[in-house]
Amino acid sequence: MGLGFAPQGIFGSVMLLTTPQLLAALHVPEPRIAAVTAVGLIPGFCGFLLSPLLDWRLPRRSYAIGLSVIAGICAFAALMGMRNLALLTALLVIGNLACTLSLAAVGGWFAGLTRPEDQGDLGAWFTVFNIGGFGLVGALATGLLRGLPYALGAGIIGLLVLSAIPLFMLTPCQPADDRLAHESFHAFGRDILALLRKSAVLWTLLLFVMPATAFALTNTLGGLGADFRTSEHLVSLLGGAGAAVAGVVGSLMIPQLGKSIAPRPLYLWVGGVGALFTLSLVFMPRNAATFGLAMLGENVFQCAAFAVSNFIILRTIGHGNPLAATQFGLLNAAGALPLSYMQYIDGQAYGLGGVNGSYLADSLISGAACGVLALLLWGLRRRIPPISASAPD
């Protein structure tokens, strides 16, 4: 079932790894490359505004399949249209929006098929296939595009985005909720507002929008290889295959830890220990070994955080939730928000104090957020609702 999240990782690799490399080979200036990918990322933060549509009219299977097809077509067309930056940017936006909405449809759909005791495993495997798809395409794309006729290589990558469709076709899916499928959109909007008033949802939103587990250094470190006297080849290897392996390790730690630690405290433990790891990097030498440790360690903690987040979202949704895809899309977007503003903060801190400035800003802000949230959850533990009625936290 974790394969349902692979399309997002595969398309993300096309957008964030393959596209910049191809544009650089065409001598496109770096600021324009950064602008293209930055615009392409926008749906990851605001695509949830359309996620209510995934609970309306059609079964979630139909949305998951249709959106995957759109993403696959956009991936192929983007690779074929590198010389037209305006068209390329539009295709990346549409494709990433399709992936974001497909992820919400799959998350809401599979949450209702999974026993509460298995949701930690599902959340971990969601992350494994996401990061695995990213790393796999990152490793294969150049060989496919340069070693085969270019259009054939682009077509194979586009087909990889469709890899989850057989799973979608074979997995049982409930039809759309009868009432939601036939009510007016105005009435449907009232149901969405009612969802936002649920205490468990509001507490989860607070947990996710705080920078407790952002680990935005995973995105920042890739551009700092020179600070550690590390070759571009090694940076690419660590940022691609190395990060994928580290992410799988971090993700698969969570089901085991989740057997003895409740989801919310586990989320804060991952953030707190990760902040201490980041702080320890301040005292290490600037060499290739330290760069590898930092890159792999930050990816372990970030993917562990993603796995716990998925676990919490799945528990919050529960079974028989007619707005499951809406809720998944909303909470997933909330978890993505700190990645954006913490990356900005880490970048500004680098301008003030170099690598150590980024380390200190990331670790101290994340550690403080974990501390505040831990005190809040402990002090108000009698008033905070459980994540789900079937799985008290």
Note the pLDDT of residue 94: 96
Note the pLDDT of residue 180: 57
DSSP character string of 111-176? HTTS-GGGHHHHHHHHHHHHHHHHHHHHHHHHHHHHHS-HHHHHHHHHHHHTTTHHHHHHS--PPP
What's phi and psi for 150, nearest 5 deg? Answer: -55, -45
Note the pLDDT of residue 389: 42
- The conformational region for residue 285 under phi > 0 = left, psi -120 to 50 = alpha, else beta, is beta
Contact 164, 109 (CB under 8 A): no
Contact 366, 275 (CB under 8 A): yes
- pLDDT tens per residue across span 355-383: 999 999 999 999 999 999 999 999 998 88
Averaged pLDDT, 264-292: 96
Averaged pLDDT, 283-305: 95
Distance CA 157, CA 19 (A): 12
Tokens representing residue 264 in the block: 């919310």
Confidence of residue 186 (pLDDT cuts 50, 70, 90): low
| 258 pLDDT more than 50 | yes
| 183 pLDDT more than 80 | no
Distance CA 34, CA 11 (A): 17
Contact 342, 365 (CB under 8 A): yes
Residue 391: beta bridge partners? 388
Distance CA 328, CA 171 (A): 19
Note the pLDDT of residue 182: 55
Percent of the chain with pLDDT over 90: 56
Distance CA 24, CA 9 (A): 22
Averaged pLDDT, 224-237: 83
State the Cα torsion 63-65-71-77 to the nearest 10°: -130
Confidence of residue 390 (pLDDT cuts 50, 70, 90): very low
Distance CA 385, CA 323 (A): 19
What's phi and psi for 388, nearest 5 deg? Answer: -150, 155
Distance CA 15, CA 322 (A): 33
Distance CA 79, CA 77 (A): 5
Residue 214 or 294, more confident: 294
| Cα distances (angstroms) measured from residue 66 to each of 10, 93, 168, 270, 314 | 17, 16, 11, 36, 23
- The three-class DSSP label of residue 388 is strand
Distance CA 71, CA 94 (A): 7
Note the pLDDT of residue 391: 44
